[in-house]
Structure 1
């Protein structure tokens, strides 16, 4: 089953232009599933970077606007979209020229996978 899930992520990554990697982690940034192209920035896939999303989403929740579902970070060469799927976090890394709307639309496909993973993995 894990190989099928990894293939699903790889197909999703390859059918969306300029996506360099997709990582599914637990809340602390520990990778559960990861697919990446060779040119994907390794720093963006490290647990220490991904775990900062959990802290940031907790702080954003204190603003009184409700639960944070997605976060988009745009850098000089890359953009990173985090999806809050607690107890897991899905992270999509793409080039800065990628269509952000298409990246955010990946939410539905990733949600289906994460719900299956939640049943299999004890997080």
Structure 2
């Protein structure tokens, strides 16, 4: 499944932001304006802090973080070397969104093999 197909696959996804390992945005879907309007980049420091704190407490590495913010749910997926952030309506099934982790792993590994 490609990232644009997610919008058709799960109704209610508003935007997707893909970051590299340094937190630099590398892809914004459906448009850069839609992602910027939602101000998803304000979520990045919080997600990185959660990741750092879980590692310091010797917990397993966080794979996903679910937050609710301003009438939408924000799911952050840590799929090294990429981070995917999805903004979706609160009526979207959270379990269906969490199941996207495997799709993101596939997308991330395909991206790495294309660069090699």
Q: TM-score, normalised by structure 1?
A: 0.77
Query: Cα deviation per residue 1:11-65 (whole Å; 9 max; x = unaligned)?
Result: 1122102111112111232122221377664301x3x532432232111222333
1:53 correspondence with 2:60: no
Q: Distance in 2 between matches of 1:72 and 1:54?
A: 13
Can you give the 5+ residue segments of structure 1 that lack an aligned partner in the other structure? none
Residue-pair matches, total: 114
**Displacement, 1:78?**
1.0
Q: Distance in 1 between matches of 2:4 and 2:46?
A: 24
**Displacement, 1:117?**
1.7
1:43 correspondence with 2:39: yes
Give SS of 1:74's match: strand
Q: Answer yes or no: is the 8 Å Cα contact 2:15–2:34 preserved in 1.
A: no
Q: TM-score, normalised by structure 2?
A: 0.81
What residue in structure 1 maps to residue 7 of structure 2? Answer: 13
What residue in structure 1 maps to residue 26 of structure 2? Answer: 32
Distance 1:54 1:27, change over 3 A: farther
- CA RMSD of superposed structures (Å): 2.4
Can you give the 5+ residue segments of structure 2 that lack an aligned partner in the other structure? none
What residue in structure 1 maps to residue 73 of structure 2? Answer: 79
